[in-house]
Amino acid sequence: MKKLFCSTLALCAALSLILTGCGSSGSGENGEVVVYNWGEYIDPETITMFEEETGIKVVYDEFETNEVMYPKVEAGATAYDVICPSDYMIQKMIDNDLLAEINFDNIPNAKNIGQQYFEQSKEFDPDNKYSVPYCFGTVGILYNKTMVDEPVDSWSILWDDKYADNILMQDSVRDAFMVALKLNGYSMNSLDENELEAAKNSLIEQKPLVQAYVIDQVRDKMIGNEAAIGVIYSGEAIYTQRENPDLEYVIPKEGTNVWIDSWVIPKNAPNKENAEKFIDFMCREDIALMNFEYITYSTPNVAAQALIEDEDIKNSKIAFPDLSQYDNLETFHYLGEEGDELYNNLWKEVKAQ
Amino acid sequence: MNSTKKKLLGTPYFIWSAIFIVVPLCMVFYYGLTDKSGAFTMENILSIATPEHSKALWLALLLSLISTVICLLLAYPLAMILCKMNVNQHSFIVLIFILPMWMNFLLRTLAWQTLLEKTGVINSILTFLHLPTLNIINTPYAIVLGMVYNFLPFMVLPIYNALSKIDVNVINAARDLGANELQVFLKVTLPLTVPGIISGITMVFIPALTTFVISNLLGGSKILLIGNVVEQEFTQASNWHLGSGLSIVLMLFIILNMVISAVFDKDGEGSVL
């Protein structure tokens, strides 16, 4: 047994040597930066440009939901340098002391980001110390004009029997409950048990009409005419319209979620300086423009907005909506561990129906 | 070879099983039997009794049972046909059977999604031929189809293996003694292939019971199986304790299944290869 233990130890030591060896030989002349971003959320060309200009090697990793990202960062198994979570998740990370303050002196290009977006960021990052906005948008209804006759302006269409088996809902707790809470006229950050119960009952009532609960697949299914109505992020809406002109996006009158995804630097980041260089690079107007054109999610970079050549996109109500006309828009807040658990349990009840 | 040498040769295997089997299992048990503060609790395991969890477990048991029965009904005749062919032909057919398994399981399931969708390949052909369309996507039927499709080879191979081991003389003797085809099958062939059948059932039932990918992709996330509950506890709710507790409950079913198969298959005759 002792022998076994020794050989295990030897093997582990050898393995770690090999692994670290790979790490150092693989990095660029000026070190590396480990980026953790949403899937398909950057123009890969910009990463190559960053590597060429700075000599810093980018190690790039992707996640599908905030909830998947969080435990990995919290466990610290991989030390990321730059992450791009959404609003409420940034708040949770700040609350749990996972983020490092960003030195804005190292990010001169942050001036390109519109002041209103920093204002909005105060909802989750009160002093604008931890985050630099990367993308923003709304959540709304995407519908197919050939399949829906009536004007769409309310979440209630997602409860209309006429469209049974033609409705796509978001398969994530907060987004699904946002729709139901807003439909019932409540805040999407509600922790009131009666309000949540009402929202849950609405979702259960809606379930027989729903074709499927999906995340990224809404896009492909709507383009392929699989469904008439879907709940979608505004950034995807521009892309889907490009592929299928019959699709139209609306922000429902009951209000919706205005979200921001921002760059943050975790506390255990091994390459904080490189991380700030990376964020600064992403804030440069030409890079922000490239990313916007590639991923079609609205950029808060006003300098880049001014550079958009296509007038239709530049004035697009979807990409850059005039949000002042709505008075019931909200941003997700972190609800605490108990709040999360409450939502998750209610969602499980909906799913188990 | 002396025994020390044998032990040395086994070392990589011991290390492998320690790192990838024993350690993860211990972690599952640790998480499953503790709460967030690290104190011992049975709550995670007992939560299987909540209506949502027991419904998901019941549904998973039902669907995997149906799939296993369908697999068995399809696989047995197929294995018999394969067995009766001469050597060259049958290796070709076995190859055809195993070939799809070279492709990634996820891709094959996604392909079924594309085939079954409302405007998918199958329905486009049906509409073109003016036939009624097939609407099983996002229903339990699609999940059963996905399970049967993905796990059928695991049923065919052990049964085929058991069949091919039967001595032809045994069957000839039965015929000599006046048994007709049906009697030969019921009294000789079938009892001799029981180990293969049991092994096939284990290999189909267990993955079917614990799957979450098939129910997510072909069920449109509308049908919650116990595998989905566990997956969501880990990825969305980040409640590893509850997820592990439910996994332990699932393990009980798997152990039960394996005990049954061990009783029937004492000599390991029903192994896949």
Same domain, A39 and A177: no
pLDDT score at B90: 66
Same domain, A103 and A71: yes
Per the listing, tokens 């074709």 go with A211
Same domain, A38 and A77: yes
Q: What is the pLDDT of residues B203-250, one digit of tens each?
A: 999 999 999 999 999 999 999 999 999 999 988 888 889 999 999 999
Q: Phi/psi at A265 (nearest 5 deg)? A: -120, 120
Is the pLDDT confidence value at B170 over 70? yes
Q: Report how many domains make up chain A.
A: 2
Determine which helix (DSSP H) or strand (DSSP E) holds A26, and give its type and residue range.
helix A2-26
- Domain B48-264, what architecture? Orthogonal Bundle (1.10)
**Candidates A344, A345, A347, partner chain B, best to mutate (most B CBs within 10 A):** A344
Same domain, A214 and A339: yes
Same domain, A128 and A167: no
B224/A11 Cβ within 8 A = no
Name the token pair of A89.
Answer: 């998740």
Query: Closest partner residue to B220 among A4, A71, A213, by Cβ?
Result: A213
Is the pLDDT confidence value at A313 over 90? no
pLDDT score at A310: 87
Mean pLDDT of A316-329: 86
Counting residues of chain B whose pLDDT is more than 70, the rounded percentage is 94
Query: Closest partner residue to A344 among B56, B119, B237, by Cβ?
Result: B237
pLDDT score at B75: 94
Same domain, A112 and A196: no
A65/B236 Cβ within 8 A = yes
Counting residues of chain A whose pLDDT is more than 70, the rounded percentage is 92
Chains A, B: CB pairs < 8 Å: 67
Q: What is the pLDDT of residues A268-297, one digit of tens each?
A: 999 999 999 999 999 999 999 999 999 999
Same domain, A50 and A168: no
pLDDT score at A305: 93
Within an 8 Å CB–CB cutoff, is residue B232 touching chain A?
A: yes
Query: Closest partner residue to A226 among B51, B117, B240, by Cβ?
Result: B117
B236/A212 Cβ within 8 A = no
Q: What is the DSSP letter of A114?
A: -
Q: What is the pLDDT of residues A166-181, one digit of tens each?
A: 999 999 889 999 999 9
Considering Cα of B253, then B254, then B259, then B262, what sign does the dihedral take? positive
**Helices B51-84 and B140-164 meet at what angle, rounded to 10?**
40
pLDDT score at B100: 81
Within an 8 Å CB–CB cutoff, is residue B99 touching chain A?
A: no
A212/B222 Cβ within 8 A = yes
The alpha-carbon gap from A15 to the nearest alpha carbon of chain B, in Å, equals 13
Mean pLDDT of A10-26: 43
| Residues of chain B neighbouring A349 (CB-CB closer than 8 A) | 52
Q: What is the pLDDT of residues A61-101, one digit of tens each?
A: 999 888 889 988 988 888 999 999 999 999 999 999 999 99
Domain coverage including residue A334: 137-258+324-352
Is the pLDDT confidence value at B94 over 80? no
A214/B11 Cβ within 8 A = no
Name the token pair of A55.
Answer: 């000599």
pLDDT score at A168: 96
Mean pLDDT of A39-43: 93
| Residues of chain B neighbouring A173 (CB-CB closer than 8 A) | 236
pLDDT score at A42: 95
In terms of pLDDT, which residue wins out, A23 or B117? B117
Domain parsing of chain B, residue ranges: 48-264
Per the domain annotation, does A220 fall within a domain? yes
Per the domain annotation, does A19 fall within a domain? no
Mean pLDDT of A319-343: 89
pLDDT score at A225: 92
Average pLDDT, chain B: 89
pLDDT score at A1: 37
Is the pLDDT confidence value at A6 over 50? no
A27 — pLDDT class (breaks 50, 70, 90): low
Is the pLDDT confidence value at B273 over 80? no
Closest residue in chain A to residue B123, using alpha carbons only: A226
Per the domain annotation, does A329 fall within a domain? yes
Q: What is the pLDDT of residues B5-49, one digit of tens each?
A: 878 888 999 999 999 999 999 999 999 999 988 899 999 999 999
Per the domain annotation, does A151 fall within a domain? yes
Residue A333 CB burial class (10 angstroms; 0-12, 13-18, ≥19): middle
Q: What is the DSSP letter of A166?
A: -
The alpha-carbon gap from A241 to the nearest alpha carbon of chain B, in Å, equals 19
Mean pLDDT of A342-346: 94
